[in-house]
Amino acid sequence: MAEPFALTAARVFDGDGWHDDAALVVRGGSVEALSPAGALPPDMERIDAGAMLVPGFIDLQVNGGGGVMLNDHPDVPSIRAICAAHASSGTTGLLPTLITDTPETTAAAVAAGMEAAKEAVPGFLGLHLEGPHLSLARKGAHDPKLIRPMTEADQAALIAARKALPVLLVTVAPESVDPQQVAALAEAGIVVSLGHTDARYATARAYSQAGASVVTHLFNAMSQIGNREPGLAGATLDMPGLSAGLIADGIHVDPATIRIALRAKRGPGRIFLVTDAMATIGTDMASFTLNGRTVYRRDGRLTLADGTLAGADLDMISAVRFMHRTIGLELTEALRMASLYPAEAVGQAHRLGRFAKGTAADIVALSDALDVKGVWIGGQRVAGG
């Protein structure tokens, strides 16, 4: 067995609270102990991580990074590149996300995900299939020619894929998927997320009862809160059984709306951070293509030619800073939104999003200014000096 080593810091956040002058003891890819730094054996290797150590960030919606889009290159090298591009911003686990595409591209992405799982690609948690079973009325940047209802064959293929993937999250709209299909997917262990839909409150409740447990990018591409019809946005805030991803960049959702949502939403379902990141992360590229259409990068926005938002030019540490500095959220809660809450949403909180004996040694070192200084996945350093 590998020799243990210790990461020390002025403060360690374990997902629940802070420990001053503490150390994480790592052995064989897992956390062996969280202890006072002064209690470490004198001969143990120590790495001073500086100001703070926090659980690695979990991103459940990542379309691309490092110049690569999963849609354009649904293969293992692309998955590796996307995971590596996001590791430098503190993301130690992510779901590469396929935006609505052809059946052939979807099948290729699923096959690549299966192979990435076999190869244990660092940072790969599974797949997020965002479509094609969405609503045309709320298509956003998805190609309307590729949106279609779910068939029995689609359902069977998803259930088969789940058997070979650690996590499979699927975004669907009630307009294209019926409650019985949702129930079958959830029973098979697939995380079903509602999104890109004009669903009414009562419909959202019915689909939640059928097994949907997540909502995709809260407030974006969905029915909004009205005085007599709360829509999916209202259902998300009202129903404790629904968790929701949030793109915290100040572009997709107004800061005031975010603050209102945080006050309204209480557990066990939580609001968690997602980046909805595209190929631009980690590059200086000014544009890229999605389903043959050009997406332009300007002033922090990614848009189609008609101005439609097309994903986000956002990494996870920037989202954490935004929640803490602009929204005014306590740092502990901003960190949970980036780690513990997404881990809970996909049933992985037993090993991710927190530090305890036996959890994954997925660790981020941060400065007091919230700059990423080091990143470890499974105890191996993957970013930082």
The CATH superfamily holding the domain 57-345 is Metal-dependent hydrolases (3.20.20.140)
Give domain 5-54+354-384's CATH number out of 3.20.19.10, 1.10.10.10, 2.30.40.10, 3.40.1110.10: 2.30.40.10
Please list, in sequence order, all residues whose beta carbon lies within 8 angstroms of the beta carbon of residue 245, skipping any fewer than 6 positions away. 60, 61, 193, 214, 215, 216, 217, 218, 271, 272, 273, 274, 276, 342
CA–CA separation, 144 and 47 (whole Å)? 51
Q: Is the pLDDT score of 129 beyond 80?
A: yes
Residue 1's pLDDT band, with cuts at 50, 70 and 90, is low
Residue among 276, 313, 315, 362 flagged as catalytic: 276
pLDDT range class, residue 350, cuts 50, 70, 90: very high
Mean pLDDT of 350-368: 97
Q: Which of 168, 124, 162 is nearest to 352 (CA)?
A: 124
Question: H or E segment at 185?
Answer: helix 179-187
Q: Where in the chain is the domain with CATH 2.30.40.10?
A: 5-54+354-384
Greatest CA span in the chain, whole angstroms? 67
**Model pTM?**
0.96
276 is catalytic: yes
HSE at residue 70, side-chain half, CA atoms within 13 A, is 36
| Helical residues (DSSP H) of 15-89, grouped into ranges | 76-87
The CATH 3.20.20.140 portion of the chain extends over: 57-345
Q: In whole angstroms, what separates CA 181 from the centre of its chain?
A: 24
pLDDT tens profile 285-314:
899 888 888 999 998 899 999 999 888 899
Task: Output the pLDDT for position 385.
Answer: 65
Task: Indicate whether 55 pLDDT > 60.
Answer: yes
Please state the rounded mean pLDDT for residues 261-278: 92
Q: At what angle do helices 231-238 and 201-210 cross, to 10 degrees?
A: 50
- Quote the mean pLDDT of the chain: 96
pLDDT tens digit string along 97-128? Answer: 999 999 999 999 999 999 999 999 999 999 99
